[in-house]
Chain A
Amino acid sequence: MNEQLPKPIAELSVESEKGSEAAGIRELGLEEKSTLEGDAAVAQAIAEGVPGLDDETESRDELDKVVRNMLLAGLAISTILIIAGLLLSSIFHRPLPSVASGGHQLFRKLKAGAPSGFLDLGILVLIATPILRVFGSLAEFIYRRDWLYAAITSTVLLILAISVLAGRG
């Protein structure tokens, strides 16, 4: 029951976010009809901007919440890796290399426990963070069967893939 509750709230509030009545009615599926009255009131209140219902605590969109958490997680992991790398290299008095490594070289470094390996990995996680949030959006769009936006999101990912390949050599 608990797992089923948040979705109608999010979807309803998306509708009120759109503001357009026609679009709202068109896109309101059968699922929303079973929404509890309380949830509808919450969504309504958010739409009307009742003070006290802070939108920071009441996320209006499931998609937004997924993306937000991915960004914060990526940022936290990369910061931890980078700080670990900095601390380790200052403890062991290892000079920092002037080129961040990738692929096999990075793998070897990490296997050997070299401090700069943590740094490089931290930088890579940082670069990967916004890319992963695009994957998160793609998953969410597919889950909602929003094929147009799934296609748009895939195009962004395609460009990213080209850039990974184009960067070689």
Chain B
Amino acid sequence: MFLIFFIGFFVGGAGSMLGIGGGVLLIPLLTSILGVPIKNAIGAGIISVIATSSAAGAVYIGRGLVHSRLAMVLEVATTGGALAGGITAVFISPRLLAAFFGLVLIYVAFSMRKLPKEDRWVEHTGLLDTSYLDPRSGNTVEYGIRKLGKGMGASFLAGNVSGLLGIGGGIIKVPIMSLVMGVPLRASIATSNFMIGVTAATSAVIYYQHGYIDPAITVPAALGVLLGAQVGSRIGGRLRSQKLKQAFQLLLFAFSIQMFVQALRGII
């Protein structure tokens, strides 16, 4: 129980320092170290995602960084994706889930390259124009949305992966929002984090009813991730993150191999 809490604390902290959710590491750690069945680990992941999204979403929305209307539009796609993903996850074999997870881990490891800090194309487009107050420069950043169709597609995929594997899906949404849709990076991260909660809730109700929410695993994991994320976001700026990132990428690769082994166990 305490071990699960510490695992959650570790992944929550590391995840928030690097700007990715903890779920990608939580689930492989639970299955490999503690031998938790993958669907129960995914159940614990999805609940942890809801907890962190609610906490982070409240903070971001308080700072005015969340684009509530855009979030609501994209949530139609993410919840739709999560519905399909959740139903699929409940019925497919754990082996196939492990293989999918391995693939996503590799994708995450590669996509962790730095997003450009400078926001290109931040301007009014006449579509969902909004603004926020940048706390660092004190300037108001005004922007509008472009390529909503692509954004909806990416959101569906993100929701699908989230529902299938119990992770947040921000790793798919944030790059699309900031690089394609013209949303400033800060606002992308805030809006994505805000959306993740309702996306995760969609598949969580499916997992719950199918008995994949194990309180003895879920509760310590979620509390750990939540607390770890709070601590991580406070000390995040002070650490040299380059080393941390490389270590994290190495871990992701290691776990993707572990997931493939899990998928193939008994077959070869």
Contact = CB atoms under 8 A, between A and B. Distances in A.
Interface of A: 16-20, 23, 46-51, 55-56, 59-61, 63-64, 67-68, 71-72, 74-75, 79, 82, 85-86, 96-100, 102, 116, 119-120, 122-124, 126-131, 133-134, 137, 149, 152-153, 155-156, 159-160, 162-164, 166-168
Interface stretch (B10-18, B110-118, B207-215, B255-263): B207-215
Given A68-B62, A131-B201, A156 B72 contact: yes
B147 interface: no
Closest 6 CB pairs of A and B: A130-B197, A167-B209, A167-B206, A96-B216, A130-B198, A100-B213
Contact of B198 (A48, A102, A134): A134
B213 A99 contact: yes
B68 A67 contact: yes
B138 interface: yes
Interface stretch (B127-135, B169-177, B235-243): B127-135
B25 interface: no
From A17, A102, A168, name the one whose CB has the most chain B CB atoms within 10 angstroms: A17
Interface residues of B, number: 61
B109 interface: no
Interface string B58-75: 100111101011001101
Given A55-B63, A86-B219, A127-B47, A166 B206 contact: yes
20 contacts: A20-B129, A47-B131, A64-B62, A72-B54, A72-B58, A74-B54, A79-B223, A102-B208, A102-B209, A126-B51, A127-B50, A127-B208, A129-B50, A129-B201, A159-B80, A163-B205, A164-B205, A164-B209, A167-B208, A167-B210
Contacts of B22: none
A56 B62 contact: yes
B219 A82 contact: yes
Contact of B86 (A74, A82, A137, A167): A167
B130 A64 contact: no
B124 A20 contact: yes
A63 B61 CA distance: 10
Contact of A167 (B63, B142, B205): B205
Given A49-B139, A71-B54, A126-B47, A160 B68 contact: no
B140 A163 contact: no
Nearest to B198: A130
A98 B214 contact: yes
A54 to B, nearest CB: 8
B55 interface: yes
- Chain B facing A: main interface SS: helix
Given A18-B130, A49-B134, A61-B68, A123 B62 contact: no
Interface of B: 47, 50-51, 53-55, 57-58, 61-64, 66, 68-69, 72-73, 75-76, 79-80, 82-83, 86-87, 90, 124, 126, 129-135, 138-140, 142, 197-198, 200-211, 213-216, 218-219, 222-223
Contacts of A63: 68
A162 B205 CA distance: 10
A75 B54 contact: yes
A72 B59 CA distance: 9
Nearest to B206: A167
Contact of A123 (B80, B90, B198, B213): B213
B50 A99 contact: no
B58 A68 contact: yes
Given A59-B62, A75-B54, 8 more contacts: A18-B129, A46-B133, A64-B66, A67-B68, A98-B215, A123-B218, A130-B201, A134-B198
A68 B215 contact: no
A110 to B, nearest CB: 14
B61 A64 contact: yes
A97 B202 CA distance: 24
Nearest to B82: A163
